[in-house]
Structure 1
């Protein structure tokens, strides 16, 4: 009620109805909810608060945010006779028509605490060919001629992913630096079996967990591991890398199970804290591509 009284009185319904975004929704088949209609007022007040308390005079956004942002500049003018500005750019869309933004799935952040440099690099590396052609023009500072040459090279051999690699390299270095880019390359190589297990010693806990995001994680007792745990108990008792000890033994005998990139010779092999990477991790593999991270705590 306080918000409606203190903020709502400064912006009329006529002003809000005049926005193109509102008109289009009202004329469409689905209409517009009250929540959606009043959102511009909430965002407008947000801009006012930043202007009032943090000297923020410019709000930037995609072109779809123009109406909401200028509601903020208007609210600032009407309430405090202040000046603020709006700047929007053409809305960036993916090839499938969905917008590129934080509210969409697979959002990417500049803050390494939200998106690790490795995940950041992988985000750009995994873009589609169509999106890569667009993004490399938007997000990099590469010359037009260089981009066109790479496009021709990729069109001739799409499997090389020349555009994606150039895009991922350029933006990862500019956001996180050369060292983090090199680490992201090594992380990628590690998961494809081209880098030794010792690489994990170069990573901190957050980077290790980021590298294995989406990989099944298990926790085992550090005390029990210190006393020693045999392979079948570790992989099918203390964890569920295998659903049963019998299945674990069978695959071990077939030479298809590794821990820390070393094949387990027998089901009775014992693992202790001496085997831990960074004093904390064991990396189990079934075959070449199925990874499991075991954390000792």
Structure 2
């Protein structure tokens, strides 16, 4: 039925809009040629099909919501520049080598040099970084690309507290998507004892003894800055004027929203 509907759609476009060419991935060849045949028989006309090899990922799967559960859009209202950048940055080595040829305008010689350089030090992910930069700048501009890079550095711990505080709410919440949150009055956040914030106020840690132990072990950070004094008061700047990021160890995060 799908094939028949797509064929009729082509016929309708041919008769009403003068459309003579339908383009698509190679998996659409049968659907498109159904349309060209229908146009020949019903309208005694001539129409054309043009397909290109389907772009697949290293595992053979194609892009699309049906495969991955999530689409990546050019419109930043549907896919933020940060997520868009992360998509290309997280490409496998095999995919990055193919995608940089498809989706950038870099000269062939530069691409070949990048591929060879990547092979000698794949852990540096230079190929993925260049791919992500080129495509993100092309689609969203240099400024949005630089914001995405800063956000990525914050997530992986290669940034300063000042970088974190300068983030806007949208990017901050995207970086720490899924991290538990609690709303507190500003008077219950700023100026109070760090142990009180970690336990009674936020309930991030279960007890004062746990908070004391983690502080002595240098495991606690507030807005990416280490705190080891159990008697200190919280004086950090709020992220975008409303958030405080608590952290235990490397991966255990908690967000306090001051209202």
Pairwise TM-score range, normalised by the shorter structure: 0.7 to 0.9
Indicate whether 1:168 and 2:143 are aligned: no
For residue 255 of structure 1, give the secondary structure of its aligned residue in structure 2: coil
Structure-2 separation of matches of 1:203 and 1:247: 30
Question: Which residue pairs with 1:91 in the alignment?
Answer: 54
Among residues 105, 121, 145, which one is paired with 1:141 in the alignment? Answer: 105
Offset, 1:121:
1.3
Question: Which residue pairs with 2:245 in the alignment?
Answer: 283
Answer whether contact 2:167 2:239 (CA < 8 A) is retained: no
Change (3 A) 1:262 1:40: same
TM-score w.r.t. length of structure 1:
0.70
Among residues 122, 126, 150, which one is paired with 2:90 in the alignment? Answer: 126
**Cα-to-partner distance string for 1:113-136 (whole Å, 9 max, x where unaligned):** 222212211211111111111111
Offset, 1:209:
1.6
Offset, 1:75:
7.2
Indicate whether 1:253 and 2:216 are aligned: yes
Answer whether contact 1:217 1:295 (CA < 8 A) is retained: no
Offset, 1:59:
5.5
Structure-1 separation of matches of 2:142 and 2:65: 25
Q: Which moved more, 1:135-144 or 1:98-107?
A: 98-107
RMSD, aligned CA: 3.6
Question: Which residue pairs with 1:242 in the alignment?
Answer: 205
Offset, 1:271:
4.1
Question: Which residue pairs with 1:153 in the alignment?
Answer: 117
Residue correspondences, number: 258
Question: Which residue pairs with 1:101 in the alignment?
Answer: 64
Question: Which residue pairs with 1:14 in the alignment?
Answer: none
Question: Which residue pairs with 1:294 in the alignment?
Answer: 256
Change (3 A) 1:48 1:265: farther
Offset, 1:206:
1.7
Offset, 1:179:
0.9
Unaligned stretches of 5+ in structure 2? Answer: none
Structure-2 separation of matches of 1:76 and 1:204: 54
Structure-2 separation of matches of 1:49 and 1:225: 65
TM-score w.r.t. length of structure 2:
0.79
**Cα-to-partner distance string for 1:223-252 (whole Å, 9 max, x where unaligned):** 663686543443344545334443233202
